[in-house]
Amino acid sequence: MLKVFLVEDEVVVREGIKNNVDWKGRGYEFCGEASDGELAFSMITKLKPDIVITDIRMPFMDGLALSKLIRENLPETEIIILTGYGEFEYAKEGIRIGVAEYLLKPISGQELLEHVDKLAEKIREKRRDALLREQYQKEMAEKTQTDQSRFLKELVSGEHDAAKLLELAAQQGISLFAPWYNILLVKSTSNHQSREAFSGTMVTIEEFYARLAQDERLLIFDRNLEGKALLIKADSEEQVRELEKEYIRRLEEVFTQYPYVSYFGGIGKPVSRLNELPSCFESATRAFAYRYLTDENKFLDCLKIGAITAAGQEELSIHDLDTKQFSRSRLEEFLKLGSREEATFFVEGFFKDLGDHAIQSGMFRQYLVMDAYFGVADFVAGIDPAQRDKVETIDPGAPALSDSEQAMAYITRILEFAVGIREESATNRYRDVVRQVEDYIRENYADEDLSLNLIASHVNFSPNHLSTIFSQQTGQTLIKYLTDIRLGHARELLRGSSKKSSEISLEVGYKDPHYFSYLFKKTTGVTPTQYRENRQEEAGKC
């Protein structure tokens, strides 16, 4: 029910409008009244009416001054001004302020109601449009996220020059140019067993990222299951470092609020050119790969890795090593979660953590190589027993044992092989899941409650995970696929039936015909009615 507030200094007029108009019966709440603008304004800011009806000439504060204050503080509130003849200058000022209606006194209750009704419909239409835009933006947010993830890959691939990168950024609506850059890779996970606790925590963290992204010095990219990439833009190397500290401080403040969340971050090496971003990303990835080799809940600077390793080498003795801790457990974690791109950095960090005293021992190198070999073989066999034989063709012979570099190269090679098998298996499994999703959508697209969450529940995936793999497998977002299916059937019905647009809306899964029309025009460029008319004209010409 829309709220109406009246400001009128003449008691008789005010009482007449208040009592002789059936506001409630017409669907309005008469929420308040005042005799002048000064008294009215404090009441209006508290009550927040949808429509204010005000006289123009009043003591203390007139209607124009009041209207200006309302426009500045409550821009959604619509204003009707009542005035007498011969006040054209007031009318012009009212138009400039943004007054919706300018009515001449005297005016009957019925005539006033008719103008209020028109204005109320305008308010409802504006609100409906705002809701439609909001709903559309929510549904399209998944596409934006996917597009930005692809742009990040382009940005750090090294395949484009600065001019091309700036062109790609402009296509995404991103301001990219800056004198200095750095990249911060961050991942947070929940260790809690409760899905409810996990979801609640992560939503809060995502909201924090959304607020952080409003900083014009920062671009945030979603890396799907690998967390976030923060691209810092600054005017100098010193400012880059200052911003790093500031963003890390804010991230740690958020993460530490939740005892079930663990996190890790890798800080890259600052660069001063766009075409140096690939090396910046590589250095951040090198630091980020240490999450398998060191304690969690920290941010590691790539420039400090060497110092950390060197400090640990002095007291390291091969006799003190817990070989299981330094090999199989960390290896298994990487095999489950790591990427092929990280394999080199993981092995490099793994050997650095062991120290020169350990890796100079040929016997210990042999142990590491053989342990890695059998660990990879067992892991691959667990995915696909038939693939274990392929591991055996990667022979850990004498060259792999001759020195630490050869040993590192060999372990890197078999890790890349194992991760490739894992990714291939996941791709095959995900391909089947995507087929299930596509079949489910085609069978249930008319269900108005069909959503990403419902579809994810059907295939037993989390919404975020399903959204990621669907985009990776098909090249489009799940919501776009659902929208295309629905609108495709809508076009068929518009071409081949005489059903009303509202009926077609329900048949293809949109209970709100206004949103259906909004989405149809947003997607095709024409309304459903225009689409049908265009098709009929084309058919007539044939």
Helices then strands, counting H and E runs in the chain, come out as 24, 10
Give the pLDDT of residue 224. 72
Residue 535, C-beta contacts closer than 8 angstroms, at least 6 positions apart: 494, 495
Residue 307, C-beta contacts closer than 8 angstroms, at least 6 positions apart: none
Q: Is 209 exposed, middle or buried (0-12, 13-18, 19+ CB in 10 A)?
A: middle
Give the pLDDT of residue 266. 92
Q: Can you state the percent helix, strand and coil of the chain, rounding each to 5? A: 65, 10, 25
Give the pLDDT of residue 239. 95
Give the pLDDT of residue 16. 87
Residue 165, C-beta contacts closer than 8 angstroms, at least 6 positions apart: 154, 155, 176, 274, 275, 277
Cβ–Cβ under 8 Å, residues 63 and 44: no
CA distance 483 to 452: 12
Return the DSSP state at 16. Answer: H
Return the DSSP state at 164. Answer: H
Element (H, E) at 458: helix 452-458
Q: If phi over 0 gives left and psi between -120 and 50 gives alpha, with beta otherwise, what is residue 509?
A: left
CA distance 237 to 179: 9
Cβ–Cβ under 8 Å, residues 45 and 74: yes
Phi/psi for 371 (5° steps) reads -65, -40
Element (H, E) at 4: strand 2-7
Give the pLDDT of residue 394. 61
CA distance 120 to 125: 9
- The angle formed by the CA atoms of residues 279, 415 and 360, to the nearest 5 degrees, is 85
Q: Domains (ranges, CATH) in the chain? A: 2-129 (3.40.50.2300), 178-302 (3.30.70.270), 315-433 (no CATH), 461-541 (1.10.10.60)
3-state secondary structure of 199: helix
- Give the distance, in angstroms, between the CA of residue 352 and the centroid of all CA atoms in the same chain: 37
Tens-place pLDDT, residues 334-380 = 888 888 888 888 888 777 777 666 667 666 777 777 778 878 888 88
Residue type, 513: P
Max CA distance (Å), the chain? 106
CA distance 245 to 404: 36
CA distance 426 to 108: 73
* Residue in 56, 71, 313, 285 with CA at minimum distance from that of residue 184: 285
CA distance 310 to 355: 8
In angstroms, the Cα distances linking 452 to 138, 144, 432, 435, 479 are 12, 16, 18, 15, 7
**Average pLDDT of each block of 10 consecutive residues along the chain (542 residues)?**
90 86 87 89 91 86 87 89 68 72 80 88 83 69 67 86 87 87 90 47 73 89 84 94 94 86 91 92 88 81 66 41 55 83 83 69 73 82 75 58 78 87 80 91 90 87 81 83 92 90 91 86 88 74 58
Residue type, 511: K
